[in-house]
Structure 1
Amino acid sequence: MQCDLGGKVAFVTGAANGIGSAIARRLSDNGAAVVIADIDIANAERIAAGLPRALACRVDIRDEAAIDSAVAKTVEHFGRLDILVNNAGVNTFAHRVDIDAFPTEEWHRIISVDLDGLFLVTRSALKPMLARGEGGRIVNIASVVGLAAMRLQSPFVAAKAGIIHLTRSMALELGPKGVRANAVAPGSIMTEGTRQLFYGENGTFHARTQAFMDHLPLGRPGTLDEIAEAVLFLSAPESCYINGHIMTVDGGWTAGYMM
């Protein structure tokens, strides 16, 4: 789709790679100035250099001071902040184990980024967004595993389920203030991580890939651009009456069982 985001400023976390970079480019293509907020500053600067109006900021979303600094830099550079996309997140590759064997430190690492970090970024970004009194948009990247749990990744499942209800809570609290909050719940998307786990010949779960694809009505993983398109829609003026919605982009994964 095409929409008019001219004059808007979007702050996208985890935007130096993968889904986040696709989102940043799609918002930019539709006229928004974009802040590439990521712990990977080298790639953030590379992405920003390829966009007409962009700023790269090094942000570890577990670090409140770094978040506040990046938000302040955004407002200083562009004068406003209109759209927040909470995309940054982590999962585990080395510890795909049952919960009784799951390491405590790995639990805390994932929750601290995927859920705590999202809260911290949102709280900081809302200050300039609300101060202007012109409303705004928040789009949180959740996951279908927050709706239909999967095995061997308990903290990721818990964090993404938390994001889904947190999004609804945001919608209730912020809607009267003119800020709409929604989430996108991707299914199996062809990121570098899923490529390593499922689609590479040496992937940990390569042997299960076909069985997994057989469960998906569309029979394939999604693309980065398909998630970016959903985020664009929820950021666009045309979606102004959508609030508290969880948009699944999953090829039919959560529609039911393929028997």
Structure 2
Amino acid sequence: MQVGLQGKVALVTGAAQGIGRSIADTLAQNGARVIYTDLDIDRAADAARTSVPCEKGHLAFAMDVSDGRHIDATVAEAAATAGRIDILVNNAGIGVRAADRKTIDEFPIETWDEMLRIDLTGVFRVSRAVIPHMKSQRSGRIINIASVLGLVPMRLQSSYVAAKAGVVNLTRSMAIELAPHGILVNGIAPGSTATEGWKHWIGDAKSEELDLHARLLSHIPLGRPASTQEIANGALFLAAPESSYITGHVLPIDGGWTAGFARDF
């Protein structure tokens, strides 16, 4: 899939690896100048340097989406350097470690607080910092990476489920508020995706003990996880000029996960 993003500037959070890196690289391959942001500035800089070249060069900035003041400063510097921000992809986030998977009465409070701060408040704070730049242009695209678990909850992950459900309805709320300013806001709800982090998680001792890999695949009608490129293709569609009448939509890319039960009972 090829679209025309020439002249556009995209800021992607959590762009050093995984889904974020694939989205950032895909936007670059379609003509956008990309601002790679991540807590790991070395990997973000390497990603920007090795991406498909653009005339003005891609940019990399350190960004901690759990720190509001750091977000504001980074977005201001990135916008000043690039001159504009046309596309924002709120991708940065964390998942629940297998060892923390407990019922809500035993779920670690520290994990709850950390995940809400990064996975939900981070989306709010980064968007809040970028929106004035889009308002001044009377145009923009915001793509929030949620999860199928924000649509269909799973047991033992209360903080992740709550955060991603929050992202789903935050996306819809933002779409209503920002439409008069020419800003389209949509979300993506990935299912299981074979990132390096996912592979590490699925292969750790606790996950193997719980047989999580086989149990997850048994619930996916297509019988496999997504590739990061398959998620990036969805982001490219939502960023494309051709998607000019889509806002407030959350697109599941989940191999059929949310269509219904794949297992027999």
Whether 1:223 and 2:227 are equivalent positions in the alignment is: yes
Does the 8 Å contact 1:4/1:237 carry over to 2?
Answer: yes
Deviations 1:187-216 (A, max 9, x none): 000012221232x37461462422321221
| TM-score (normalizing by structure 1) | 0.96
Q: Matched residues, percent identical?
A: 50
Alignment of 1:97-246 (within 5 A): 97-133=102-138, 135-198=139-202, 200=203, 202=205, 204-205=207-208, 207-246=211-250
Determine helix, strand or coil for the equivalent of 2:20.
helix
Distance 2:204 2:185 in 1: 39
Match among 60, 63, 68 for residue 59 of structure 1: 63
Does the 8 Å contact 1:4/1:236 carry over to 2?
Answer: yes
Alignment of 1:12-27 (within 5 A): 12-27=12-27
RMSD over aligned Cα, in angstroms? 1.3
Determine helix, strand or coil for the equivalent of 2:42.
helix
| Aligned-pair CA distance for 1:22 | 0.5
Determine helix, strand or coil for the equivalent of 2:45.
helix
Distance 2:146 2:240 in 1: 19
| Aligned-pair CA distance for 1:19 | 0.6
Q: Out of 69-78 and 146-155, give the one that drifted further.
A: 69-78
Whether 1:96 and 2:101 are equivalent positions in the alignment is: yes
Whether 1:76 and 2:80 are equivalent positions in the alignment is: yes
Q: When the two structures are aligned, how many residues end up with a matched partner? A: 257
* Dislocated runs of 4+, deviation >3 Å: none
Unaligned runs of 5+ in 1: none
Deviations 1:190-249 (A, max 9, x none): 012221232x37461462422321221111000000000100100000111111001000
Determine helix, strand or coil for the equivalent of 1:163.
helix
Q: Out of 181-190 and 67-76, give the one that drifted further.
A: 67-76
Does the 8 Å contact 1:196/1:202 carry over to 2?
Answer: no
Distance 2:88 2:218 in 1: 35
Whether 1:248 and 2:247 are equivalent positions in the alignment is: no
